[in-house]
Amino acid sequence: MIGAAVFIGFFAVAFFAFALFVDPRRLWWRFRAPHFEHPEAHEPSTASFTVRRVVMVVLAIFLGWQAVGLLRLAGVFETRPDHAEVLDRLESAVGVIETDGNGGRYKVSGQEGSWGDFINPLLEAPGDDPYASLVSESGDVERYEVDGICLTVTATPLPGQSEMAHAVDNLMYSVKTDVVDRESRWDSRS
């Protein structure tokens, strides 16, 4: 894929250089004019030459954009956050979803656990985003893994909720989290 990106990038640079540094009128007189008996009558207008240059620049920009896209797909521009940044993002995310003694949250049943839909948008930032993937779920405890960091979310139903809320599973929960960084634990043992 990198070879294709370099090939496309070469043509992008060539088209851009050709559009900026080669005089199309002089090129026409050199290669096309000798084929006509009266070349002055057949010479293209200045607007025609300008349009050709603009098209070449647009084509060069498009090809350059495609080459950069291929290089991104190949992983050349890896923008993955480092471990400390992921840990900071996760700690600020759990600070948002945790509840104090007075409030609660509703669960969102998603594909990746009940709390993954809350956590993952909070982890987003410029660059490639880390992703909280559900590892295990038992009762009110869900365990997630985010780039080597363990996150445990414990959700306890708040007392005093109506029977209707219990029947339709529309309960408010007290949410507590625990973040364990496996890397720092291994570093401290060394």
Going by pLDDT thresholds of 50, 70 and 90, the confidence category of residue 110 is: low
Instruction: In whole angstroms, give the CA distance from residue 163 to residue 31.
Output: 88
pTM above 0.75, yes or no: no
pLDDT digits (tens, 9 = 90+) for 141-185: 888 888 788 888 887 777 877 777 767 767 777 778 888 887 654
Amino acid at 70: L
pLDDT above 50 for 82: yes
**H-helix segments, 80-174:** 83-97, 116-122, 163-167
Residue of 7, 127, 12, 10 whose CA lies nearest to 65: 12
Instruction: In whole angstroms, give the CA distance from residue 97 to residue 176.
Output: 8
- Region 69-96: mean pLDDT is 78
Instruction: In whole angstroms, give the CA distance from residue 152 to residue 154.
Output: 6
How much is the pLDDT for 128?
A: 64
pLDDT above 50 for 188: no
Q: Backbone phi, then psi, for 140, in 5-degree steps?
A: -95, 5
pLDDT above 90 for 98: no
pLDDT above 80 for 125: no
Instruction: Annotate 101-117 with DSSP letters as a single string.
Output: SS--EE---BTTBTTHH
Going by pLDDT thresholds of 50, 70 and 90, the confidence category of residue 4 is: very high
